[in-house]
């Protein structure tokens, strides 16, 4: 009996012994990812600056949950995910710097967790470089601390694809299935249509390979995230088909429209390129965009040679489907639209870069390593320069809204109040007023409703200087505020 007990204890010790080294290795492998997340968070706070006021789209999302400002009109393409994301801060505080710090911290933690989902699929060095490539793009740094959905779709895409591939390889971790569901839900929670484009290759692969558990978990995650959007479609838009049609109309009509050149123009720091006119940015700004598919192709070739094509091909295909509508189905551009594609491309591209600088035996290629390092340094310098310009322009424009709000207060337009006309949504938020539109994408009130409101509350119409006012405001006294003609309803 003692011998049997000793044998049991010995066998148990043998089974437990490997856990120590594996745990230590996992901890060591996580440290570089954690360090990257910390640097990313600090870079957002230092470069984007928490004092930057809220932008137009941010105002729409934040105003849904704050008690300090009236809720702005919520159009068909939008989803409530961002509003719920900012609610822990925006629901009780109107401090924009506090909201920026909260989102920067959250985005750093999310990047760390998303990259951890790829552990075991690629070496840690590849994940660190891939994460750094994505995190150092000017649009990633710019939108990380903002109340916008696209960065979070990118994080959800990384989590979903990483967990999907690891479940196929390991087949034994319930945690990975939960991760797959959570990543899919996060994407759909933020933008259901984007989530569908990212997930299509995963759904098809799970169906073809008969991975029924993956198919079920992925579909359940997507459904869970999209449920609020679908419910709202029936409650406020007359049905799912009607909401999709209205969303398409607001975006200019989805269909065959080549927007590749629009995306190139937006790389120079334009938050929204609609209409997308003007010259192309300098080639130094767009060079990385042309290098991206070349390096992605090299990463696939490296993976095929190494016998691990699947873990590279799947994110590349998901990146392609994620980018498809924004390159070929929409008539305008914003650099943030392609963030999910950039996040998924970053890891195969990092794999290709490591292949260029190191031999299969692990020795360095000095010339190639020097050239790659110089190119990456130049790329980073360009991204930071574009970021600086984008931040400066946006800070100035948001300060203009704030100054306009102060001038409106001096004219007696104070909350509760109503603004209509040019940039009524952002100026209304800064003023503390509701915003109204009788036509266009944000139509939410009638002329009769505006006039009834003017009988009991301050109402003002905004128009570009010299612009023709609508009929209902033509007789209202006009005041010049910067480059705006402001007509205030009599008695306001």
356's tokens: 């260029």
Q: What size, in residues, is the chain?
A: 492
**DSSP letter (8 states) at residue 126:** H
pLDDT at 10 over 80: no
**How are beta strands 459-464 and 418-421 bridged, if at all?**
parallel
What pLDDT digit, counting tens, does each position of 330-371 carry? Answer: 999 999 999 999 999 999 999 999 999 998 888 999 999 999
Distance (Å, rounded) from C-alpha 31 to C-alpha 300?
27
Token couple for 192: 């259901």
Question: pLDDT category, 274, cuts 50, 70, 90?
Answer: confident
Rounded distance between C-alpha atoms, residue 100 and residue 51, angstroms: 8
CA distances 84 to 79, 228, 247, Å, are 10, 11, 21
Answer positive or negative: Cα dihedral of 444, 446, 449, 451.
Answer: positive
Instruction: Tell whether the model's pLDDT for residue 134 goes beyond 70.
Output: yes
State residue 30's pLDDT score: 86
- Dihedral angle sign, alpha carbons of residues 337, 340, 341, 347: positive
pLDDT value, residue 15: 40
Structure tokens at 22: 């594996």
Q: What is the pLDDT of residue 350?
A: 98
Residue, of 23 and 145, whose pLDDT is higher: 145
Query: Which pLDDT value is given to residue 1?
Result: 39
pLDDT of residue 27: 67
Mean pLDDT of 427-437: 97
CA–CA dist 156, 159 (Å, integer):
5
- Going from the C-alpha of 152 to that of each of 74, 341, 366, 457, 489, the distances in angstroms are 19, 12, 38, 39, 42
pLDDT tier at 6, thresholds 50, 70, 90: very low
Strand arrangement, sheet containing 434-436: 434-436, 418-421, 459-464, 484-488, 478-481
Q: What is the residue whose two structure tokens read 């060079």?
A: 287
Q: Mean pLDDT, to the nearest integer, of 363-383? A: 96
Give φ, ψ of 213 to 5 degrees: -65, -40
Q: With a cut of 50, say whether residue 8 has pLDDT above it.
A: no
Q: What is residue 23's predicted lDDT score, i.e. its pLDDT?
A: 56
Is residue 257's pLDDT more than 80? yes
Burial class, 482, CB count within 10 angstroms (exposed 0-12 / middle 13-18 / buried 19+): exposed
Residue 106 backbone dihedrals phi, psi, to 5 degrees: -65, -40
Q: Are 433 and 419 in contact (CB under 8 A)?
A: yes
- When pLDDT is cut at 50, 70 and 90, the band that residue 491 belongs to is confident
pLDDT of 16 above 50: no
For residues 421 and 378, the answer to whether their CB atoms sit within 8 Å is no
- C-alpha 68: how far from its chain's center? 25
Answer yes or no: are the C-beta atoms of 122 and 347 closer than 8 Å: yes
Is the pLDDT reported for residue 156 higher than 50?
yes
The mean pLDDT value of the chain amounts to 93
Question: What confidence tens digit (pLDDT) does each residue in 299-320 have?
Answer: 999 999 988 999 999 999 999 9
**What are the structure tokens assigned to 223, written together?**
């459904």
Could you give the dihedral angle defined by the CA atoms of residues 97, 334, 37 and 362, in that order, rounded to the nearest 10 degrees?
A: -160
pLDDT tops 50 at residue 9: no
SS3 label, residue 101 = helix
pLDDT at 213: 93
Phi, psi torsion values for 479, nearest 5 degrees: -130, 145
| Torsion angle defined by CA atoms of residues 371, 377, 382 and 385, in that order, rounded to the nearest 10 degrees | -160
Q: Are 303 and 309 in contact (CB under 8 A)?
A: yes
Instruction: Please give the C-alpha separations between residue 278 and each of 268, 274, 491, in angstroms, as whole numbers.
Output: 11, 11, 44
Note whether 343 and 154 are within 8 A (CB). Answer: yes
Q: What is the pLDDT of residue 19?
A: 43
SS3 353: helix
The yes-or-no verdict on residue 233 having pLDDT over 90 is yes
Predicted pLDDT of residue 25 = 57
Residue carrying structure tokens 């009929």? 471
Burial group, residue 188, by CB count within 10 angstroms (0-12, 13-18, 19+): buried
């Amino acid at each position: 009996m003692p011998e049997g007990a000793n044998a049991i204890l010995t066998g148990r010790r043998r089974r437990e012994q490997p856990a120590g080294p594996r745990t230590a290795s996992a901890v060591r492998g996580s440290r570089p990812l954690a360090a990257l997340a910390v640097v990313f968070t600090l870079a957002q706070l230092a470069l984007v600056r928490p004092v930057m006021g809220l932008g137009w789209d941010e105002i729409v999302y934040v105003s849904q949950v704050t008690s300090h400002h009236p809720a702005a009109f919520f159009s068909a393409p939008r989803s409530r995910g961002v509003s719920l994301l900012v609610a822990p801060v925006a629901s009780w505080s109107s401090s924009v710097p506090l909201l920026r710090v909260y989102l920067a911290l959250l985005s750093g933690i999310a990047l760390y967790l998303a990259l951890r989902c790829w552990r075991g699929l690629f070496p840690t060095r590849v994940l660190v470089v891939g994460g750094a490539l994505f995190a150092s793009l000017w649009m990633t740094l710019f939108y990380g601390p903002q109340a916008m959905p696209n960065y979070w779709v990118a994080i959800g895409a990384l989590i979903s694809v990483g967990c999907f591939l690891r479940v196929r390889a390991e087949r034994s971790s319930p945690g990975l299935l939960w991760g797959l569901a959570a990543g899919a839900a996060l994407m759909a929670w933020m933008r259901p249509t984007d989530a569908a484009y990212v997930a299509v290759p995963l759904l098809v692969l799970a169906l073809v390979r008969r991975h029924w558990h993956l198919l079920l978990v992925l579909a359940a995650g997507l459904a869970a995230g999209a449920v609020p959007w679908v419910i709202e479609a029936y409650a406020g838009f007359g049905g799912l088909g009607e909401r999709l049609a209205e969303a398409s109309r607001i975006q200019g009509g989805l269909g065959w429209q080549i927007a590749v050149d629009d995306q190139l123009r937006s790389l120079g720091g334009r938050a929204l390129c609609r209409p997308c006119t003007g010259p192309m940015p300098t080639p130094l700004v767009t060079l990385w965009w042309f290098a991206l598919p070349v390096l992605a192709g090299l990463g696939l070739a490296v993976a095929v040679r190494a016998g691990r094509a699947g873990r590279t091909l799947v994110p590349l295909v998901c990146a392609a489907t994620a980018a498809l509508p924004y390159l070929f189905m929409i008539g305008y551009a914003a650099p943030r639209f392609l963030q999910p594609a950039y996040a998924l491309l970053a890891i195969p591209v990092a794999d290709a870069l490591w292949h260029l600088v190191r031999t299969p035996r692990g020795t360095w290629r000095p010339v190639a390593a020097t050239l790659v390092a110089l190119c990456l340094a130049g790329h980073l310098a360009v991204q930071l320069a574009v970021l600086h310009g984008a931040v400066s322009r946006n800070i100035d424009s948001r300060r203009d809204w704030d100054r306009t709000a102060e001038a409106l207060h001096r004219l007696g337009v104070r909350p509760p109040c109503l603004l209509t006309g040019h940039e009524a949504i952002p100026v209304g938020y800064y003023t503390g007023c509701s915003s109204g539109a009788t036509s266009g994408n944000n139509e939410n009130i009638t002329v009769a409703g505006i006039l009834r409101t003017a009988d009991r509350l301050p109402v003002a119409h905004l128009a570009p200087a010299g612009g023709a006012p609508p009929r209902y405001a033509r007789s209202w006294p006009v005041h010049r505020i910067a480059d705006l003609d402001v007509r205030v309803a009599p008695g306001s």
